[in-house]
Amino acid sequence: MTGHRAGQARRTGRPVARLAARLVAVVLVVWGAATVGFFSLRLIPGDPVNVLIGLGSVSERVRDQIREDWGLADPLVVQYLRYLGRLLQGDLGTSYRMQHPVADVIGQQLAPTVQLMVLAIAFALLLACGSALLGRDTRTASVAGLLELVAVSAPTFWIGLVLIGVFGFGLGWFPVVATVGFGALVLPAVTLSIPVAGIISQVLRQGLDDAEALPFVATVRARGASSTRLLLRHTLRHAAASSVTLTGYLVGSLLGGSVLVETVFARPGLGRVALNAIVDRDVPVVLGIIVLAAVVFSLVNLLVDLVADRLDPRLAAEQAHA
């Protein structure tokens, strides 16, 4: 098909030009997200001044003054251009509710969420490898299949509630209310990891199945390699290469899931910041989260693209087609 060939031609161009094109795409996505976010958040009914002053009541003169101070009295286009200008300098604006720079608000809460996500990824990889190995054996394959199905079907927040009930209150292995220390991080990370583990496990099992059908497997076997060696040295690598492309989605789903997990476990973090900002209609903070999500997603996908191209050039052509 034409699309296929065009994609291949584009991908096999000079590496520098290719990288430049991808960087432009990153900037476009972030700019698009910031723009769509900026204008759609204007649709929020109600006066931002109400959010700014909180519960107190002030005279109309003071309201006008506040509008003037926050630049809310200017035409929308002026506000938009000013926002973009600040964004270019890395300034995300000031929170209506907290009257702090949004970058600080997000920066302070970044660490707990990143810790949670990193540990969740580690758990997910462990669980997925375990389940994929379980699925290798024809006798236990259906068990692995069932576990995967439950993992990707059960709501994340419910898994969290069950884990708190069983391991927190029931067995008392992990603290229920603490927010510091490694012990407090285990249950939230496991909760966040379970749906992701289900996905990785399925992709891994699929990748292993596909890899085993390839001709090189017969060669390796003919050289006298054991099944374990074949798995660890050859087919698992093959399978892992195909699951790299999932990373972007997985980071996204972890980010989305962190809102629920942080609420269930009453942990601080970005998810809580996002939820509170949405409930409070704190527009600058919501916009900051939108921009952050777009940046993270684009950069992760950029990295994944670069890594995947290295690992398997055929993948690049296929992706361009899809």
Q: List interacting residues with other proteins (CB under 8 A).
A: 1, 3, 28-29, 32-33, 36-37, 40-41, 43-45, 145, 148-150, 152-158, 161-162, 164-165, 168-169, 176, 195, 198-199, 202-203, 206, 209, 246, 249-250, 252-253, 255-257, 259-260, 263-264, 274-275, 277-279, 281, 286, 289-290, 293-294, 297-298, 322
CB of 107 to other proteins, least distance (A): 19
The smaller minimum CB distance to other proteins, of residues 112 and 207, is found at 207
CB of 223 to other proteins, least distance (A): 28
CB of 269 to other proteins, least distance (A): 14
The smaller minimum CB distance to other proteins, of residues 51 and 225, is found at 51
The smaller minimum CB distance to other proteins, of residues 208 and 231, is found at 208
Identify the bridge partners of residue 94 per DSSP, sorted by sequence position. 101
CB of 283 to other proteins, least distance (A): 9
The smaller minimum CB distance to other proteins, of residues 58 and 162, is found at 162
What are the residues whose beta carbons fall under 8 Å from the beta carbon of 5, sequence distance 6 or more?
none
The smaller minimum CB distance to other proteins, of residues 49 and 152, is found at 152
What are the residues whose beta carbons fall under 8 Å from the beta carbon of 161, sequence distance 6 or more?
264
The smaller minimum CB distance to other proteins, of residues 71 and 155, is found at 155
CB of 61 to other proteins, least distance (A): 29
CB of 50 to other proteins, least distance (A): 14
Rounded distance, CA 123 to CA 196, Å? 9
The smaller minimum CB distance to other proteins, of residues 65 and 263, is found at 263
CB of 294 to other proteins, least distance (A): 5
CB of 26 to other proteins, least distance (A): 10
The smaller minimum CB distance to other proteins, of residues 225 and 278, is found at 278
What burial class does residue 257 get, using C-beta atoms within 10 Å of its C-beta: 0-12 exposed, 13-18 middle, 19+ buried? Answer: buried
Rounded distance, CA 226 to CA 21, Å? 45
